[in-house]
Structure formats: structure tokens, C-alpha cells
Amino acid sequence: MSHPLTYRRAFLYAAGAAATLVALPAFAADPAAQLILDISAEVVELMKTKTGIDRQNGFQRILETKFDLPYMGQMALGKYWDGTTPEQRARFLKATATAEARAYNERFGQYGGQSVTVNKVSPRANGVFEVDSQINQPNGGEPVKLRWEVQNRGSGLRVTDVKVEGVSMVMTRRSDFSAYIQRNGGNADALIRELEARAGR
Amino acid sequence: MVEGILVSVAGLRRSVVLVAAMAALAGGCATNDTKDQEVWDPLETPNRFIFSINRAVDVIAIRPLTVFYRDWMPEPGQKGVHNALENIQTPVTAINEVVQGSPKRAANSMARFLVNSTIGVAGLFDVASSLGLPKTREDAGKTIGMYAGVPPENGGPYLVLPLAGPSNFRDAAGLLADYAVDPFRILTYALNVDWIVYSGPRAAVTVVDARSRTLFALDDIEKNSVDYYAALRSAYTQQRAELIREKREKTDSRSELDRRDNLALVH
């Protein structure tokens, strides 16, 4: 008769132990929140002090130092990544970095006066920290929901994806890129040339 | 007039059957999953065709009209128009909240509707929000998605609807269902209100209002994609999935709270 009790107690201990183990990454999650706050502060500073190409270069520097661009590029290229040469990869990453910097520069050009607050950090089993944050509009408009994925893949904690209102940047790019590849010869070369042409424009 | 009501009820029943059939179809596609994170799009060729027509119509007519509206209509006016459209849509939200099993939220929506229709001057002013009745927006696509036992990214085959744009079987079925149960539509149909007085203007204003609220986001996606159709398809699917996921999570914690309340009552 004592078996169920023992099992239950054992289960409780196990659950307690697991809870302690899970609680530890939650403390370690603070650097992830700090990373997002740092990025926000740098972006606000950049918007206040720089314009035009200087600002775009500023965005590119933030992307290169705070985001894991090689990993994001690999994810965005999806199954086509494996079929590319190192030289193609380098060209692809260079073109996408320029494209993203330009996109962010134009995107924020039409904004002004907003702030970012970090709400919650949820560590996941696969080593990814999900940081929930929001952009608060100065005119009392509805805040924009941003969810960042942060992970350490060898070069310190870096952003690996941004979801705006549930729309993942990396996943949208992957759909975009793979559709382009499928409709233009089935390998990444056409895509890379198109991206380079756009980056040069 | 009675005849009108009967006809509209018959029409409603037909729509409900159709919706049920489409929902079953949407639910039946569990196997065609989004493993590759790609959207299931078996109708891509016709979809791309309608997409290109939509874009032409947008470039020629809707976008210029919307830009004119955005630049020349005073901000409070735009806000009033948006509030009024939301107000007309509130009964449909309330019906969906009932079906979603959230009677309290449905009551909140109906209270909002009553307050804004009267004190808010036919919905032009959102008085209810300042009275502590928060705005909610539900549609039958979300309701189907909430109950369908499939990942929220799976809404059945992707669809591009003429004028309305990105959708899928789930959300198109939802549009039909919302249209079928819309009290304003049933009432104006029963009263034989001419389309030029009510449904025509409502549709036109809805298009301009909706487009004005998507100008920035759609321009952004178009500019920063190499295949606009595919990028929009992905973004639409993800955004709808996020709304449905929120819905499921909220309901889960709600039912948990209700369960605890009931326990407390028993003891």
C-alpha cells in the first residue's frame, strides 16, 4: 500500500529538483533582456544623432555586433544553404546584411519618439531565450509587440530572430528566398545575384 | 418583410452548411503540415494570378484613394471612421466570443456596442474604452482555428481572395460565417435597405480604412522581399497563427480560472 505514496514522493522530489534546475537558467536570462535593452538604447541614440548613410551604417554595425547574422542567413536560406560554396555564402551574407541595414534604416525613418520595454524572458529547453518586449507609441497608439530570440552560439549572446506581431523575420525571409529560388532555376545563385543587385542600388 | 427574414434565414442556413463543410476541409489537412515552415499552397497558380490582378487594382485605384484619404482626411476623422466600422462589427465579435465560450467577453462587447452606439454617437467615439470596457476583435476564422485540432499555422490551402487579399480556407470560411451571422446584414436585408445606402458604402469605407492601416507594413514587405507574393503569404499565415495561439492560451488559462472558481463555490 505504501508504493503509491513512495512513488508520489519520489515524483515530488524529482519535480522539485527539476524546478531548481529550470530556475537557474531563468536567472541567467537577465543578460538576454539586457542585450535587448542595449540594442534599443543604441537604436534610439542612432536615430537621435545620425541621418542618411551614416545612420544606415550605424544600423549595420548594430546588426553585425548584436545579431548572429551568419546563423540567421543560414536559417533564411534553409535547405539551399548546403548546396552553396563558401564564396557564395560570403556574398549572400554580405548582401543580406546590407539589405537588412537599409530596411531598418527606412523602417525607423518614419517613426519617432517611441520607447522599448522588456516584459518577460522565457528560457527554452534548446538554449533559446525568448524575450518579449514592446514598442510604445508616443501618441498613445497601440504598442507593437516584439519577440526576440536570443542565443549563444559561440560568439556570446546574440539575437537570432525578431518577431513583429508574431511575424518572424527569418521565417518570412526563408519563404521569400525559397520561392524566388524555386521560380528561378532551383539554386541559390540567381537569388544571390538578385540580392547583390539590390544592395548595389 | 417576414418573407425577407425567411429568405435571409434560409441563406444563413446554406452558409452555415458551407462553412461547416469548409471547416471540415480545413481541419482535414493535418497531414499537409508546415514542416519546412512553408505555407501549404496547392492553388498557387490561380492565387498568383488573382494576386497580380489585386495589385493592379491596388496600384490604379485603391492605393491612390487611400493615400488621398490618409493625407487629406483629418486624423480625428480617420479615427472616427475606424471606430464606427469597428462598432458595426462588434456584434459579430460578441457572437464569436459566445461560440468561443467566453460569455463574459461577449457581454463586454455588447456593453461596448450599446455605449458606443448611443453616447459614442453611432460609434464615432470609443467612449466604452475610457469607461473600462476594453476593445476586443474576434472573427470566425479565429474561432475555427481555436477549435481545430491542428497547428494554428495550418489554415488549409492558402487563398488569395479578389480585393480582400491573403486568406486561406479557414479564414475564408470564417468570413462567410461572419457575413452570415452579421445582425446588421440580416436586418438591412430584411428591411430591404438598398445596397447603395448601406452595404456598398460600408464595404468601400472598410476597404479604404483597412488599406490605410496596412500601407506601411505592406510597403515594407514589398520593398524588402524578392518574391512579394511568398513573403506576404508567410507573414499573413504567421500573424493569423499568432492571434489563434494567443486565443488558445488565453482560453486555457481562463478555463483553469473558472475551474478554480467552481471548486471554491463547492467548498
pLDDT value of position B25 = 45
A174, pLDDT greater than 90: yes
- Rounded to 5, what percent of chain A is helix, strand, coil? 65, 20, 15
CB contact under 8 A, B230 and A178: yes
C-alpha span between B42 and B157 (Å, rounded): 6
Q: Buried b / exposed e across B78-108, counting CB within 10 Å, b at 16+?
A: bebbbbbbbbbbbbbbbbbbbbbebeebbeb
**Quick one: which of B267, B51, B8 has its CA closest to B158?**
B51
Q: Which three cell numbers stand for residue B151?
A: 497547428
How does the average pLDDT of chain B come out, rounded? 84
What proportion of chain A, given as a percentage, has pLDDT over 70?
83
pLDDT in tens, A48-99: 888 888 889 999 999 999 999 999 999 999 999 999 999 999 999 999 999 9
- Residue B212 reports pLDDT greater than 80: yes
- CB B234 to CB A176 under 8 A? yes
Distance CA A65, CA B133 (A): 44
Partners of residue A135 on adjacent β-strands: A116, A144
Q: What is the pLDDT of residue B231?
A: 96
- Helix and strand numbers (H, E) in chain B are 11, 2
Taking an 8 Å cut-off on Cβ atoms, the answer to whether A166 and B231 are in contact is: no
Those residues whose C-beta lies under 8 Å from the C-beta of residue B166, and which sit 6 or more positions away, are B158, B159, B160, B232, B233, B236
B248 alpha-carbon distance from chain centroid: 17
Query: What DSSP string runs through B143-208?
Result: HHHHHSSS-TT--SSEEEETTTEEEEHHHHHHHHHHHHH-HHHHHHHHTT--TTTTHHHHHHHHHH
Q: Do A167 and B216 touch (CB under 8 A)?
A: no
pLDDT of residue B238: 96
pLDDT at residue A129 greater than cutoff 80: yes
How far is Cα B155 from Cα B240, in angstroms, rounded to an integer? 9
Tell me the average pLDDT across B13-36.
Answer: 44
pLDDT band at B255 (very low <50, low <70, confident <90, very high): low
Average pLDDT over residues B148-177: 95
- By Cβ distance, the residue of A110, A176, A183 closest to B231 is A176
**Cα–Cα dist B231/A183, whole Å:** 14
**CA-wise closest residue to B238 among A161, A2, A156, A25:** A161
| Residue B156 confidence (pLDDT) above 50 | yes
Do the Cβ atoms of B36 and A107 come within 8 Å? no
The stretch B115-136 carries a mean pLDDT of 92
Q: What is the pLDDT of residue B146?
A: 95
Contact B234, A176 (CB under 8 A): yes
More confident call, A156 vs B18: A156
- For the sheet with A115-123, list strands across it: A115-123, A129-136, A144-152, A157-164, A167-168
Answer yes or no: is pLDDT of A126 > 50: yes
pTM of the model: 0.81
Asked if B37 lies within 8 A of A174 by C-beta distance, the reply is yes
Between strands A157-164 and B158-161, the pairing is unpaired
pLDDT digit string, tens, across residues B66-120? 999 999 999 999 999 999 999 999 999 999 999 999 999 999 999 999 999 999 9
pLDDT band for position A125 (50/70/90)? confident
pLDDT tens per residue across span B186-204: 999 999 888 888 889 999 9
Distance from CA of B267 to the nearest CA of A (A): 25
pLDDT in tens, B55-69: 999 999 999 999 999
Q: By the CB < 8 Å criterion, does B241 face chain A? A: yes
Cα gap A103→A109, rounded to integer Å:
10
Mutation target for B interface from A74, A98, A173, A175: give the one with most B CBs within 10 A.
A175
Beta bridge partners of A164: A146, A167
Quick count: other Cβ atoms within 10 Å of Cβ A99?
18
Between CA B194 and CA B153 the distance in angstroms is: 39
Residue A44: other Cβ atoms inside 10 A: 15
Q: Is the pLDDT of residue B155 over 50?
A: yes
Percent of chain B with pLDDT over 90: 70
Neighbouring CB atoms inside 10 A of A65's CB total 14
Grid cell, residue B128, equals 466604452
Instruction: State whether residue B207 sits within 8 Å of chain A by CB.
Output: no
Query: What is the rounded distance in angstroms from the CA atom of residue B158 to the CA atom of residue B84?
Result: 31
The helix/strand count (H/E) of chain A reads as: 7, 5
Does the pLDDT value for residue A179 go beyond 60?
Answer: yes
Q: Band of the pLDDT at B253, cuts 50, 70, 90?
A: low
Query: By CA distance, what is A195's nearest residue in B?
Result: B226
Supply the pLDDT for residue B4: 47
DSSP, collapsed to helix, strand or coil, labels residue A29 as coil
The shortest C-alpha distance from A90 to chain B (Å) reads 19
| pLDDT for the residue B118 | 94
Q: H-helix or E-strand containing A136?
A: strand A129-136
Residue A90 to residue A75: CA distance in whole angstroms:
15
Q: What pLDDT does B181 receive? A: 96
B223: chain A residues, CB-CB within 8 Å: 103, 106
The answer to whether A171 contacts B37, with C-beta atoms less than 8 Å apart, is yes
- CA gap A89, A77 in Å, rounded: 10
Total beta-carbon pairs less than 8 A apart between chain A and chain B:
67
